[in-house]
Chain A
């Protein structure tokens, strides 16, 4: 595509960082679902505004991490400053790239708080998805001006009329006011930028007030330490200032301050309404927390900006190296990832079944998946993770309260009540699947809160669902029952008291810690039966009979038996067989060393791994199936 930027570099003197008047600034973000083309549109904007030339253009420039690029999702947001001219006036546009997923709602909310407007980008062939809707509502609550846009209008499957009506209704505009673009070809993108300038309000901070800047992202860089992205709300931040983090009171020297376009450009400072980055030399993102307020040490602000909160892990899972000798590698890898992820926390955990590992807290399931994948890919680790668990508050009869993040820590004394986190979940689904979704939510202890038709054939269902049910296998089931059409968003909304019990799995009377689970009493039996059946299929027969039991406390609720192995002998062992047999024996001995011992039962680690992976198709056929 031929590109002629409207502003040549030397013509932009009236929009230099730190001296651009607020009325010449526009700050916006793009709200979109995975795959709806946000990154492609962002790339096109970089190109059309002339800050990235074609040669340097890398597809999806803003997503830095490989995993993000491959999965088409953005975990970490960044900001880009772009020049744009409308009717002969120069403007500086700041595009703030927001994370696109449910687990990062807090980070999204901070990104939104740094903007005056949002582009709502929807795939013209797919319509809006639940997470996008959730983020749209979040943007509306932040009083952002919304620009609805349909993307991919050049695709053969595009139905712009249909989806324009749908999002027009959501945002409250006429269908013909919904812009239509193609991020791929660039069609409609200059008009979109014009629209940003014309419809978004400029920032209106207090230029003379003490400086207050909000951190909306902070990223660890191996060479530069932590790079903190900020939106200055009031006052100025200058390169020679010393700064304070208002949540902790920590002082820092500014080593560098600047703007990204999209490569970092150091500047004299950042003025009110502007977006940029700063570097202080800290090495850990925990010292530069998203949502915190930055002020100057001298004549600083006394009141922080609203909206700061500490990220709190909602989902816990045990991560264990498959090769026990990788434990130190896993520890170092987590230490490294932690530098760049304020929400990640972990402590050592020991499991009889899985050996040494870590109990890791995550914001949600996607966060878990991303961390696990990064550990495996970037640090070359093979890992096994235990079933994700939420955080329970257990109130004992003696009045003490216990927080349980791991079924192994479930207290043994008399329990008065147990509370579990609950979510407000939003599910968008074609109307033909309403019944299937309701049935699923019912079986997951959901309470219907409301239902709205977004259009003739798309429905928004609102449920209250226990988080534990969502992290178990809800999403997979939702997808399979709706042929992939449903989308889900959820947000923690509080906690509820529930009739929960801990189910232990016993092998010859010995508990196997990795399989203990906290489940609703009504589900305990089916969990026990399913798990016992799984283990029976996976654990090889031993020299003696092995009972597998599921138990609540001392009460057995389900039982299976692994019958004793009867034959383990090579029938022929003559002259030529001896060397081969000895070598086989040595190999078997090696294999024996890798077995985990639960009491006197030897279990290959693969059996635990297979039992923990939810995928039923990975299970072997029943060993006894062919016996009549």
Chain B
């Protein structure tokens, strides 16, 4: 089989961090020397091996992709690896499947894990976009989040990246215990002052197995409050809009459609993607698979020439429909009304009347969330899925 299946996205998970943050429940490790071939030094070779096996697996299943349209190095902290390692992985990928013209290649980075030189090396090696984990501009908030960077470093890192020709996005976290509305305003203004064209803002979610959840249980931190979160989201939206950025997904804002993260849009629009690295998820035409989480087990499985898959699921037609409604309703383009099962469509008018859906878009056959609706997206989705 050699039929082309359209564009492919590739996610490469780098599971290492200098410090684990108290709110983080991602698959990441701080030790540089993990046993069984799972160390940072051996990581790039493992990732490349996994790319080879994934390609073979696709081919065996009759899938062949023309080109890679987006690549995303996430973590962890990808920039904890030498820039050459990231470039080498990208090179290896290109040797398997060519990069499309104008492909978007993003890496996540900590403001303090980059230098002018490393950013320039990344740009030269084919990376086009960098997403900095800024989180906040307020030192006390950063301290609660266990973030080690000095907020002063962010504008500098952004400037170096732009100088190297990279697009820049900043990530913010709002709703950290103790954060005031004023703190949020300070952070958003500081981010916008860097002149970025893309902003992501996530409300802090305290997962049960994190250090922060333990602090919360001990009463050392106050639990985030939903109304306060809503106030902060609205403030962020106001400030972004005033600066010329508009929402294109519940938590993402861009200056122009061209500046939207195409990699993330691929997730939300049902694209196929590879998930390379420990714990990474992959999607191929309704097949979702996810890797073993621990770098050592991941490495050992690859050493036996086997894909390091922990488990997988084949989505039913209904699953795919649920996912489509769930994901597309979150983006500014919205969801085509015909996609919603007929017995649920009467809910559209209910949510329009409650101010959750744009009345004008609905007349044009699309369900698009209002700002109030964005904050209640899950409730709206529950009413629309089969």
Q: Give the chain A neighbours of B238 by CB distance below 8 A.
A: none
A588–B233 alpha-carbon span in the complex (Å):
24
A579 within 8 A of B: yes
With both chains docked as a complex, state the minimum distance between the C-beta of B277 and any C-beta of chain A, in angstroms.
11
Contacts A582-B322, A627-B225 known; A576 to B376 CB distance under 8 Å? no
Whether the pair B379, A543 counts as a contact (CB closer than 8 A) is yes
Q: Which of B205, B230, B327 contacts A578 (CB 8 A)?
A: B327
Whether the pair A579, B313 counts as a contact (CB closer than 8 A) is yes
Whether the pair B267, A566 counts as a contact (CB closer than 8 A) is no
Whether the pair B290, A576 counts as a contact (CB closer than 8 A) is yes
Whether the pair B230, A567 counts as a contact (CB closer than 8 A) is yes
Contacts A574-B264, A581-B326, A582-B319 known; A569 to B279 CB distance under 8 Å? no
Whether the pair B382, A566 counts as a contact (CB closer than 8 A) is no
**Nearest B residue (CB) for A570:** B378
The stretch among B95-103, B109-117, B151-159, B280-288 that forms the contact with chain A is B280-288
B377 within 8 A of A: yes
Q: Which of B205, B223, B275, B319 contacts A570 (CB 8 A)?
A: B205
B181 within 8 A of A: no
Whether the pair B376, A592 counts as a contact (CB closer than 8 A) is no
Whether the pair A568, B376 counts as a contact (CB closer than 8 A) is yes
Q: Mark A558-584, 1 if CB is under 8 A from B, else 0.
A: 000000011111111111101101100
A259–B230 alpha-carbon span in the complex (Å):
77
A589 within 8 A of B: yes
Whether the pair B354, A574 counts as a contact (CB closer than 8 A) is no
Q: Give the chain B neighbours of A569 by CB distance below 8 A.
A: 250, 374-378
Whether the pair A566, B376 counts as a contact (CB closer than 8 A) is yes
With both chains docked as a complex, state the minimum distance between the C-beta of B261 and any C-beta of chain A, in angstroms.
10
Q: Give the chain A neighbours of B322 by CB distance below 8 A.
A: 582, 585-586
A584–B223 alpha-carbon span in the complex (Å):
21
Whether the pair A585, B326 counts as a contact (CB closer than 8 A) is yes
Whether the pair A566, B205 counts as a contact (CB closer than 8 A) is no
Whether the pair A566, B226 counts as a contact (CB closer than 8 A) is yes
Whether the pair A544, B202 counts as a contact (CB closer than 8 A) is no
With both chains docked as a complex, state the minimum distance between the C-beta of A132 and any C-beta of chain B, in angstroms.
49
A196–B279 alpha-carbon span in the complex (Å):
83
Whether the pair B267, A567 counts as a contact (CB closer than 8 A) is no
Whether the pair A573, B327 counts as a contact (CB closer than 8 A) is yes
Q: Give the chain A neighbours of B147 by CB distance below 8 A.
A: none
Whether the pair B205, A571 counts as a contact (CB closer than 8 A) is yes
Q: Mark A574-617, 1 if CB is under 8 A from B, else 0.
A: 11101101100110110010000000000000000000000000
A626 within 8 A of B: yes
Whether the pair A576, B281 counts as a contact (CB closer than 8 A) is yes
With both chains docked as a complex, state the minimum distance between the C-beta of A197 and any C-beta of chain B, in angstroms.
68
Whether the pair A572, B202 counts as a contact (CB closer than 8 A) is yes
Whether the pair A576, B225 counts as a contact (CB closer than 8 A) is no
Contacts A566-B230, A567-B229, A572-B202 known; A582 to B222 CB distance under 8 Å? no
Q: Give the chain B neighbours of A544 by CB distance below 8 A.
A: 354
Q: Is the interface of A mostly helix, strand, loop or mixed?
A: loop
Contacts A567-B375, A627-B227 known; A572 to B382 CB distance under 8 Å? no
Q: Which of A575, A578, A579 contacts B11 (CB 8 A)?
A: A575
Q: Count A/B pairs, Cβ under 8 Å.
A: 98
Whether the pair A572, B330 counts as a contact (CB closer than 8 A) is no
Q: Which of B201, B229, B382 contacts A588 (CB 8 A)?
A: B382
Whether the pair A585, B379 counts as a contact (CB closer than 8 A) is no
Whether the pair B376, A572 counts as a contact (CB closer than 8 A) is no
Q: Which of A567, A568, A574, A578 contacts B288 (CB 8 A)?
A: A578
Q: Give the chain B neighbours of A578 by CB distance below 8 A.
A: 267, 281, 283, 288, 323, 326-327
**Nearest A residue (CB) for B289:** A579
With both chains docked as a complex, state the minimum distance between the C-beta of A176 and any C-beta of chain B, in angstroms.
63
Among A572, A575, A588, A626, the most chain B Cβ lie within 10 Å of the Cβ of A575
A566–B223 alpha-carbon span in the complex (Å):
17
B118 within 8 A of A: no
Q: Mark B352-386, 1 if CB is under 8 A from A, else 0.
A: 00101000000000000000101111110110010
Contacts A571-B251, A575-B281, A589-B382 known; A566 to B203 CB distance under 8 Å? no
Q: Give the chain A neighbours of B298 by CB distance below 8 A.
A: none
B132 within 8 A of A: no
A627–B230 alpha-carbon span in the complex (Å):
14
Q: Give the chain B neighbours of A626 by CB distance below 8 A.
A: 222-223, 225
Whether the pair A571, B323 counts as a contact (CB closer than 8 A) is no
With both chains docked as a complex, state the minimum distance between the C-beta of A356 and any C-beta of chain B, in angstroms.
26
With both chains docked as a complex, state the minimum distance between the C-beta of A586 and any C-beta of chain B, in angstroms.
8
Q: Give the chain A neighbours of B43 by CB distance below 8 A.
A: none
With both chains docked as a complex, state the minimum distance between the C-beta of B44 and any C-beta of chain A, in angstroms.
21
**Nearest B residue (CB) for A588:** B382
**Nearest A residue (CB) for B288:** A579
**Nearest A residue (CB) for B375:** A567
Whether the pair A543, B226 counts as a contact (CB closer than 8 A) is no
With both chains docked as a complex, state the minimum distance between the C-beta of A541 and any C-beta of chain B, in angstroms.
8
A189–B268 alpha-carbon span in the complex (Å):
84
Whether the pair A567, B251 counts as a contact (CB closer than 8 A) is no
Q: Give the chain A neighbours of B313 by CB distance below 8 A.
A: 579
A574–B9 alpha-carbon span in the complex (Å):
13
A576–B202 alpha-carbon span in the complex (Å):
16
Whether the pair A585, B230 counts as a contact (CB closer than 8 A) is no
In chain B, positions 304-346 with a C-beta closer than 8 Å to chain A are: 313, 319, 322-323, 326-327, 330
A544–B11 alpha-carbon span in the complex (Å):
40
**Nearest B residue (CB) for A541:** B226
Q: Which of A567, A574, A582, A585 contacts B226 (CB 8 A)?
A: A567
Whether the pair B381, A576 counts as a contact (CB closer than 8 A) is no
A569–B264 alpha-carbon span in the complex (Å):
18
Q: Give the chain B neighbours of A589 by CB distance below 8 A.
A: 382, 385
A contact set with B: CB distance below 8 Å: 543-544, 565-576, 578-579, 581-582, 585-586, 588-589, 592, 626-627
Which 5 A-B residue pairs are closest in the complex by CB-CB distance? A566-B230, A576-B281, A569-B377, A567-B230, A567-B226
A sample of 5 inter-chain contacts (CB < 8 A) reads A570-B378, A578-B281, A585-B326, A585-B381, A592-B382
Q: A571-B205, A573-B327 are in contact. List 20 more A-B contacts (CB 8 A).
A: A543-B379, A567-B227, A568-B375, A569-B250, A569-B374, A571-B201, A571-B250, A572-B251, A573-B268, A574-B264, A574-B267, A575-B273, A576-B279, A576-B280, A576-B290, A578-B283, A579-B288, A585-B326, A585-B381, A586-B322
